[in-house]
Homo-oligomer: A and B are copies of this chain.
Amino acid sequence: MSTAETPTRGYAQDKAAYARRLKRIEGQVRGIQRMVEEDAYCIDVLTQISAIQSALKSVSLGLMEEHLGHCVKHAVEHAHDTGDTSDMDAKLAEANAAIARLVKS
């Protein structure tokens, strides 16, 4: 296939939004560096880190949602059409491992 060499990712249509959210998170991390540099109060630094953790968690949940609704969905359809479940099995195993990492990280 000539066209789809780079497959379309689940997050493709929201790519600009993800880029913006990650840019904002990068700014928040730089803000924490400045706080440490200026001897900010430990609790205030901790509060900012918790805010970043929540923002990252929210990005992760968005990506996972799009992964299930696109990549996993397509893999299930492909397995259903062809009887070859190998890609679907791999995609499901990957998704489960990612959910476990997300829950534990």
A residues in contact (CB < 8 Å) with B: 6-12, 15, 18-19, 22-23, 25-26, 29-30, 32-33, 36-37, 39-43, 45-47, 49-54, 56-57, 59-61, 63-69, 71-73, 76-77, 80-81, 88, 92, 94-96, 98-105
Contacts and interface: CB of A to CB of B under 8 A. Distances in A.
Nearest to A60: B49
A51 B47 CA distance: 20
Contacts of A22: 29, 32-33, 36
A86 to B, nearest CB: 14
Contact of A26 (B12, B29, B39, B105): B29
A1 to B, nearest CB: 12
B100 A61 contact: yes
A17 to B, nearest CB: 10
A77 to B, nearest CB: 5
